[in-house]
Amino acid sequence: MKIKWLFIAAFGLSIFSQQLLFAQAKHDTVVVAFYNQENLFNAIDDPENDDAEFLPSSKKEWTEERFEKKMFNMARVIRSMNDNRGPDIIGFCEVENQKTVETMVQKHLADLHYQVVYKESPDKRGIDNGLIFKKDKFTFLLMNADTVFLSDRYPTRLILNANLVTRSKDTLHLFVNHWPSRRGGADASEKNRVEAAQTLKKSIDKFFSNSGKTNIIAMGDFNDEPTNISIKETLNAQPLACSEIDKLPASFRKNLYNLAYTKKMNGEGSYKYQSEWDMIDQIIISGNLLTNKSFHLLCNSFEIYKPDFIVTHSGKYEGAPFPTYGGIRYLGGYSDHFPVLVKFLISKK
């Protein structure tokens, strides 16, 4: 009798394994990432922007050679993602211009077949948001960019909206953000990020009004954390517990869910400021991406991406991202932010 039950158990396990393999076989994985590039500037003076900090004549002695190394370093990080295949989509901030991104892609990532989506921002420093995607996996539909009007009229970064169509014929509405900084103090500057959140929310709600099954992915350096007013209340990006997906309210498809929330609650972060970790780089999705059969979230896949080579390994900043500069001292590193990424499952053809 014992042998019979062992046989039944083994048979059941075999069937389960086959079902799991079958489910995996029906889907491919899509990796979506975001990475603050920490001042990816060329070494050429742009009279339209305040780029004096990154010129050969500046205190930082920013040269063409250092720019070339910076591009190589950032491309190295990007390529290392997704098991050295590079992410399928990655958003950027703190990039000087479109040509800089195109140069990095052409020189160091050409074999990954990325297409650039970019829009120049009115930011006085000349830093913008951009995005690249694998053109063999997505079809470019259109691009929009929303101006964030601050009450003090200070120009800030546009919110870039790129709309792509997947091979499963799903339309993705991607938003790349770099909200106003905390210059002058977090409390004093909070209204600026609330205004940015209002701008993003207005654009997202337009898509929600057109369809109850809208696929939104908002990513960026929000300069606020998942628990701050701008994100948790104004944007209304909620925590997500994967074990509770089957208990979500009927309105969940038009809700936003912050995939970085759990990391914040665990004391983790993408940026270290005065020995404290801040979870300011985040990815937020619409509820439809939780249950959409042809393209949906691989739950619990959100990750602060920190391979060993981009981590500081000694001294005061041990464990923090290894940056390009420490003050005005050139270190030759990567970025002062860790990238973040998440995985989705897409139905195979």
pLDDT digits (tens, 9 = 90+) for 260-293: 999 999 999 999 998 899 999 999 999 999 999 9
Task: Measure the CA–CA gap between 130 and 175, rounded to whole angstroms.
Answer: 10
Burial 306-333 (b: 16+ CB within 10 A, else e): beeebbbeeeebeebbbbbbeeeeeeeb
pTM as predicted: 0.92
Q: What is the pLDDT of residue 124?
A: 87
Of the candidates 149, 91, 81, 86, the residue with the CA atom closest to the CA atom of residue 118: 91
Q: What is the pLDDT of residue 25?
A: 66
Q: What is the pLDDT of residue 87?
A: 98
Task: Measure the CA–CA gap between 31 and 36, rounded to whole angstroms.
Answer: 17
Q: Helix (H, G, I), strand (E, B), or coil: what is residue 83?
A: helix
Q: Which residue has the tokens 């500057």?
A: 189
- Within its chain, how far is the Cα of 57 from the centroid? 33
State yes or no: pLDDT of 15 exceeds 70: no
State yes or no: pLDDT of 1 exceeds 60: no
Domains of the chain in sequence order:
28-347 (3.60.10.10)
26 vs 174: which has the higher pLDDT: 174
Position 205 confidence tier, pLDDT thresholds 50, 70, 90: very high
Stretch 66-87: mean pLDDT: 98
Position 27 confidence tier, pLDDT thresholds 50, 70, 90: confident
